[in-house]
Amino acid sequence: MPALNTTSVSGQSQTVCVTGAGGFIASWLVKFLLEKGYTVRGTLRNPDDPKNEHLKELDGAKERLTLHKVDLLDLQSVKAAFHGCDGVFHTASPVTDNPEEMLVPAVNGTKNVIIAAAEAKVGRVVFTSSIGTVYMDPKRSRDFVVDESCWSDLEYCKNTKNWYCYGKVVAEQTAWDIAKDKGVDLVVVNPVLVIGPLLQPTINASTIHISKYLTGSAKTYVNATQSYVHVKDVALAHILVYETPSASGRYICSESSLHRGELVEILAKFFPEYPIPTKCSDEKNPRVKPYIFSNQKLKDLGLEFTPVKQCLYETVKSLQEKGHLPVPTGQEHY
């Protein structure tokens, strides 16, 4: 992972806004932006909620962080937050498979962000999308290298009731359409499943994906694959595409893919005291092949990805430190 250049002039005189500032990725993004000297405005549904207290304790927060109560579905409140900003990082989005909770907030919130950014004459908007907008296409072979030119098939998302991916596709396409119409400089980051240490006190969906294999709640693992990336790398990718004038289009943010069998093997090696499953729920069929995601565009900008084994180790250690997992004795160390 590249060291942050805290003396960089890039952030010294710039004010940027981060939507959904208390989230998993957003918290790290706020932390790194403050370290780089940016003045940061964070939008939250409720700035006084105790789960957002960790933001106020970040280095530089007292001097250069303000938290704003903003409803992304209320265009006026978004405009007020963006007024006077040089850049916007739009990370806020619902994480749900409920179509009613996903579609309208994701799409209309994104629409308001781009419209407000255009009116505020913001220099660049960096939008947190998802690998879910890229790979969902049953016609594409798993031997095919999936890159930024690929889009998920909306009909397939709908037919498989994957409303999260459906909502993310429509939200990202909406962002591109309105940005083009309004002349907004938009760059998109498409992360895979994001893991790593938590800054916020609450557990989030992507870390539950790991913790379920340690708590005993998962007795077997499924015959499936998943791609992973470290939360710090995702936050740094956002800053990298914001600060690089030539950055454009979409950027897949992925370190590597693992079959669930490989995932549990790594976890068992690091943390043998936990009841980690050893059996696959599908022992008839061969192991599913992982998708091949290209991360070359971010590597070309200079991002060095954290190895997936280190990501997994740091995720579990963080879950222990935050009290989400019991700490057994005699653990192996990375």
pLDDT at 9: 40
Rounded Cα gap, residues 161 and 194, in angstroms: 22
Least-confidence region, from 144-153, 160-169, 221-230, 263-272: 160-169
- Is pLDDT above 50 for 3? no
Q: Is 243 left (phi over 0), alpha (psi -120 to 50) or beta?
A: alpha
Q: Give me the active site residues, please.
A: 168
Least-confidence region, from 9-13, 90-94, 209-213, 295-299: 9-13
pLDDT digits (tens, 9 = 90+) for 274-288: 999 999 999 899 999
Residue 331, classified by CB atoms within 10 Å of its CB into exposed (0-12), middle (13-18) or buried (19+), is: middle
pLDDT at 334: 43
pLDDT at 329: 66
Q: Of 280, 278, 275, 229, nearest to 256 (Cα)?
A: 229
CB atoms within 10 A of CB 327: 12
pLDDT at 96: 74
Least-confidence region, from 5-14, 125-134, 236-245: 5-14
Residues in Cβ contact with 300 at an 8 Å cutoff, skipping those fewer than 6 apart? none
Least-confidence region, from 88-102, 158-172, 177-191, 289-303: 88-102
What is the mean pLDDT of the segment spanning 41-47?
95
- Is pLDDT above 60 for 320? yes
Residue 71's SS3 state is: coil
- Is pLDDT above 70 for 8? no
pLDDT at 6: 35
pLDDT digits (tens, 9 = 90+) for 216-251: 899 999 999 999 999 999 999 999 999 999 999 999
**Confidence band, pLDDT 50/70/90 cuts, at residue 150:** very high
pLDDT at 97: 76
Rounded Cα gap, residues 120 and 233, in angstroms: 29
Above pLDDT 70, what percent of the chain? Answer: 95
Task: Confirm if 135 and 146 have CB atoms less than 8 A apart.
Answer: yes
pLDDT at 330: 55
- Is pLDDT above 70 for 43? yes
What is the mean pLDDT of the segment spanning 97-121?
90
**Confidence band, pLDDT 50/70/90 cuts, at residue 154:** very high
Task: Confirm if 169 and 157 have CB atoms less than 8 A apart.
Answer: yes
Helix, strand, coil: what percent of the chain each, to 5?
40, 15, 45
pTM: 0.93
| DSSP β-bridge partners for residue 125 | 88, 186
Residues in Cβ contact with 323 at an 8 Å cutoff, skipping those fewer than 6 apart? none
- Is pLDDT above 70 for 135? yes
Rounded Cα gap, residues 200 and 195, in angstroms: 13
What is the mean pLDDT of the segment spanning 164-187?
96
Residue 76, classified by CB atoms within 10 Å of its CB into exposed (0-12), middle (13-18) or buried (19+), is: exposed
